[in-house]
Amino acid sequence: MERNHFDRLSAELITPILLELPTTQTLYSLIRASPKAYQVFLASKETILISLMRRRIRPAAFIDALAAVQASQLKDVGPDRKAVLAFLRTYENKRHKTVEQKGQHYSLPIAVPLCQLYQSTQYFIEDLTSRSNYYLRRCRDTAFVQNHTSPQDGCIVLPKSNGLWRSHPIDRDHCYAPLSDVEEGRLQRAFFRYELYTNIFSSDMEYSGEKLWELPSDSHFFLENYQQWEIEELACVEDYRCSLLSNSFDRIESSFVGIQLPEPPLEPAAITSFRSYERSAALREAKFQIHSLYTDYLSNLSLPFLHHALRLDRLNMQREMSSHIYYDGQKRSLSTALEGFWKEMSRKDSNLIHNYIHAVARNNLFPFKDTIDGSNEGWLCVYGNTHFVSPHGIRHTTRSLGYAFWDSKRLRNSGFVGPGLVGIEARCQIKKNVWPSTTAPLV
């Protein structure tokens, strides 16, 4: 058989080619087709994989991705509280100083999980994007723009000009355009940070010989290092995952809801007339409890494992999940942590974030950023309630659709208007957050 022309190249020439491949699929195809390329890959796997990830992961999210992978390995060495806090301090220093990482060498145990995390993250990003685009298409035919004297009337507006709110024209095509580089960067960053939170406050970390986190407020030191819009991005990931897992539960519901429940404590003569009602109520309660356990458990799993589980067929998913469905670890739910965090911040300095707390209470005001570097700050106001909105309410629906990741142009041009979900972009300036001086430092 004639030799592959690629195999005639020397290893010194093949290496830079492998270092510049654009995707993991391209790399996989090449090393399968060329024995020489496969040998070169085996000789420097970590270097090639890291080089590939640097091109696929946005620069603003790369440090967060590395931190998420490294945090998942902390429990393997038996971490203690000081070690975890030291790790987070190092992560924060790199994040704030934007330390250049290009010349740093990473081992294979870092490179391989980083690739797995990236591939899993892209799966969820594509799913979230398709959900959002589908929603915007449904709203497309009902969208309208007109001048109003107040934002409550339901148009997309910019700040007041001469006492009037200025309308902004809708570009139908941009509502469901492909992700921009900035939007993809926001999404990657938020998913990696969510993975970092999950790994730091996972049950494995909590029960590795000792409880690392005794109080609910222990997660506050993690959240207080982010800005308001960054925390809102994490909340979007949380609500999206809960929505996704609720749908996946329906696929295997009968496997867990069809359990044997005790009969109601009634007299034999009364059982016939009451059994049907009591049994139905008991099953509904069991379904709700198991659904909550299922969602809580899967929300606390790593993205790669969750990615694997959701792609299984119904039977295999049941087999893999049934042994864990009654998981009773003390999960550090992000939504619970966020609720406690804002209450604590309000207690320490009510003036600092009074408007934000008020916005949360009103359930219709969201902070957002126009660019990933933090410029063009503003609020997104959401009003109305239609069949597009889930029973959980506007805030859950808007977050689960990933509104915080969208560029302001997409927000202006979206279908969040008219009879559908009404959206208003009211521009204002928000100063950089400086959390209260009473906030406890990392110790």
List alpha helices for 141-263, DSSP H: 172-175, 181-200, 203-206, 220-223, 228-257
Question: Which of 181-195, 235-249, 347-361, 398-412 is most confident?
Answer: 181-195
Domain residue limits, the chain: 1-43, 119-427
At residue 430, the pLDDT reads: 33
Residue-wise over 387-412: b if at least 16 C-beta within 10 A, else e? ebbeeeebbbbbbbbbbbbbbbebbb
Helix-, strand-, coil-residue percentages of the chain, each rounded to 5: 60, 5, 35
Q: In whole angstroms, give the CA distance from residue 16 to residue 2.
A: 25
The CA–CA distances, whole Å, from 238 to 27, 394, 422 equal: 32, 15, 23
More confidently predicted of 294 and 258: 294
pLDDT at residue 124, as a whole number: 92
Least confident of 104-108, 117-121, 214-218: 214-218
DSSP, collapsed to helix, strand or coil, labels residue 159 as strand
Counted residue by residue, the chain has a size of 443
Question: Most confidently modeled of 69-78, 189-198, 241-250?
Answer: 189-198
- Residue 124 CA: distances (Å) to CA of 97, 121, 292, 351, 424: 29, 5, 21, 37, 27
Per-residue pLDDT reduced to its tens digit, 348-358: 655 444 444 34
β 377-383/157-161 pair status: unpaired
Average pLDDT of span 276-296: 52
Of 203-217, 219-233, 336-350, 381-395, which has the strongest mean pLDDT? 219-233
How far apart, in whole angstroms, are the C-alpha atoms of residue 355 and residue 342? 12
Q: Is the pLDDT of residue 210 over 80?
A: no
The predicted model gives 242-271 an average pLDDT of 54
pLDDT of residue 64: 94
Using alpha carbons, list the distances in angstroms from residue 311 to 306, 315, 325.
Answer: 9, 11, 18
The pLDDT value recorded for residue 386 is 34
Q: How far apart are the first and last CA of the chain?
A: 66
The arithmetic mean of pLDDT across residues 71-82, rounded, is 76
Mean pLDDT of 63-77: 86
Average pLDDT across the chain, whole number: 65
The predicted pLDDT at position 114 comes to 92
